[in-house]
Amino acid sequence: MGLKKSFCEETYQRNIKILIGIYFRYVSDQQLAEYLAHDAF
């Protein structure tokens, strides 16, 4: 279970800023973009 959690955390940290940037292009609202990106994970 530790390995799976580590993989998920690493994947999240590596990709969250990219997803926020993509969502921000569509919604032009930083807070909403962050919410959508976190919801996607």
Cα–Cα dist 35/20, whole Å: 8
How many domains is the chain built from?
Answer: 1
Residue 23: exposed, middle, or buried by beta-carbon count in 10 A (0-12, 13-18, 19+)? buried
User: What's the confidence (pLDDT) of residue 4?
Assistant: 72
Residue 26: domain span: 2-40
User: What's the confidence (pLDDT) of residue 23?
Assistant: 97
pTM: 0.78
User: What's the confidence (pLDDT) of residue 1?
Assistant: 54
**Taking a C-beta distance cutoff of 8 angstroms, is the pair 7, 16 a contact?**
no
**Taking a C-beta distance cutoff of 8 angstroms, is the pair 3, 12 a contact?**
no
Tell me the per-residue pLDDT of 1-41, one tens digit each, with 9 for 90 and over. 566 778 889 999 999 999 999 999 999 999 999 999 999 88
